Every structure is written in C-alpha cells, then in structure tokens.
A and B are shown apart, each in its own frame.
Chain A
Amino acid sequence: MSQLYDLKLKIEAKIKADGLDGNEVRGKIGLKSGKLLALINPMTPDDPAGIAKLRQAINDVLGLSA
C-alpha cells in the first residue's frame, strides 16, 4: 500500500469521524496539494514531493499532522 493511499484513508477516516462534507474537504485538500484524491488507489506510486504536499494540505485543511 502506498503512502499516498494511506494518507487518503486518513482523510476519509477523519471525514467520517467528524461528519464533514466529504466533497468539500477532499476538494480543498486536492486543490492545495495538486492531487485528485479520487485517483489515488493502493497501487498509486509514491513520490516524495507529492506526499509532502498532501501532508501539508491535510494539516492546513483538517489540522492533522499526518
């Protein structure tokens, strides 16, 4: 399982736990990180820059240090 997918799962878990608007949260994180979360799957290859951007976006939008 890729790290990107792992991060995606964390996002989904947070949305579910807090009852957030999933499309809104995913959209904000996607726009900030430049990643379309819908296209991230377990087979998605990791790239360090993409992972760093996604972590930063998660932190900015959800306040999570992933």
Chain B
Amino acid sequence: MAKKRVLLVDDEKSFTNLLKLNLEETGDYEVRVENWAEDAFQAARDFKPDIVLLDIIMPRMPGGNVAAQFKDDPDLKDTPIVFLTAAVRKHQIDENDGIICDHPCIAKPVPVETVIEFIEKHVRK
C-alpha cells in the first residue's frame, strides 16, 4: 500500500519538523513541509498531496487564501484540506461539526493521534 502523501503548510518550523517525524514514524505517510504560505500552491502542484494540513495564521498569506487558491485550481480543487490552527478552539470546531470555512479543522495543540484520525477520515481515497 502506497504511503499517503501529506502536504504540511505551517510557518512554525519546529512544529512541522516534529509532526513530520511523528507521521513518518508510523510508516504510513510521506510528508512534505512547506513553511511559506505563498509557496504552498506550487508545492501542491509539484507534490500532488492526498491531503493538505494547512495552518491559518501565517505571515504574508493566511491559510484561507491558500485554500482559495486550491479551490480555484482545476487540478487541486478536490485535494482535501484540513486546517490545523491555534486560532480556533476545540469547542468551536465541535459546534460546527468539525467544519470551519468549508474544511475540517484541528485546534492546536493536538496529540499526533488526533491528527492521524483526521488524516484517515478526510484523506483522498
């Protein structure tokens, strides 16, 4: 079974490194990290991820805009996106059935198990 391709877009380098390590440790995922939001679109086109884990609050370009770019792109518009952010709280997500701005959402900080749960739930099959 091929590894699921996960694009991780977050300006926090340490976070991306550690999440990448944790995910790849499972052996189920191939993780590409992009720390600059502007570069996320091009990275997705290159990497063709099965799922995008997208931070919302980033310098220069918020995650929402990145999601909009994906939506406007015919190749990327169906790529699942999961927001992974410190700006939203868990109960807010719960109240909205896990969906924020049309996408599932995970509130930081979060244990890696929860991240995996979400990936498995929303990853392109």
User: Do A and B belong to a common assembly?
Assistant: no
**A interface residues with partner B (beta carbon < 8 Å):** none
**B interface residues with partner A (beta carbon < 8 Å):** none
